[in-house]
Structure 1
Amino acid sequence: MDLKPGSRWKSAVCTAEFVVVRPPSAPGELACGGHPVVAHAATPPPGLSPSPDASAGSQAGKRYGDAETGLEVLCAKAGVGSPSLSARPLTIRDAKKLPSSD
């Protein structure tokens, strides 16, 4: 799985879609709902359903990251599956504070 910046991926088990903002420093498998994601143009395999331990959901417009590898993805479309990298759940990144203007 080549997680290049700007590459688009979608969940194989729900409606979630992701865009890679920052690639990981080490190879890993991006997954959603407990199953590997597929390229945006690909057809997901039939008959899959979200894993109960990976169904916390993903929120559109939120950035998710992995502290260990530096991976950062933007959720472009919400879904019931939660994103992970190599079986580690991704966490929602906080918004960066803008400097105050005086």
Structure 2
Amino acid sequence: MRPRVGQMLASTVDTTAVIVVRCPDEDLEITCGGAAMAEGNGPGPAAGGTPDPGLMGGALLGKRYADEDLGVELLCTKPGPGTLAVNGVPLPVKTAKPLPASD
């Protein structure tokens, strides 16, 4: 799938939903719980599938998940037990930038 900025994606195995905040102009496999995510903001067309037990780290509401090397960033709009991944690599939670020191 070739994601685009602003696109809403929903998991096909749990309740997780995300919005694409940043992405490269290339095909990516965006998954949740080991299953491909579908376009939309509700449960995907095959909701009720079986997630991969090894990819059940969870997605937290309001957190951004990013891979700086790939240039991908997703914003979680609905939490769920599945782990978000791109091309088979789990996405870490994006950390906040440190504020400058005030002396």
Q: What is the TM-score when the length of structure 1 is the normalising length?
A: 0.87
- 1:11-90 maps to which residues of 2 (within 5 A)? 11-24=11-24, 26-40=26-40, 43-90=44-91
Kindly provide the CA deviation profile for residues 11-60 of structure 1, in whole angstroms up to 9, marking residues without a partner as x.
00000000011113542110000000001167421541210111111001
Cα distance in 2 for partners of 1:56, 1:89 equals: 9
Deviates more, 1:22-31 or 1:69-78: 22-31
Cα distance in 1 for partners of 2:47, 2:62 equals: 27
Check conservation: 1:26, 1:69, Cα contact below 8 A: no
Matched, 1:93 2:99: no
SS at match of 1:92: coil
The sequence identity of aligned pairs, in percent, is 37
Corresponding residue pairs, total: 102
CA RMSD, 1 decimal: 1.9
Amino acid at match of 2:73: E
Amino acid at match of 2:30: L
Check conservation: 2:16, 2:80, Cα contact below 8 A: yes
The gaps in structure 2 that reach 5 residues or longer are none
SS at match of 2:46: coil
Q: What is the TM-score when the length of structure 2 is the normalising length?
A: 0.86
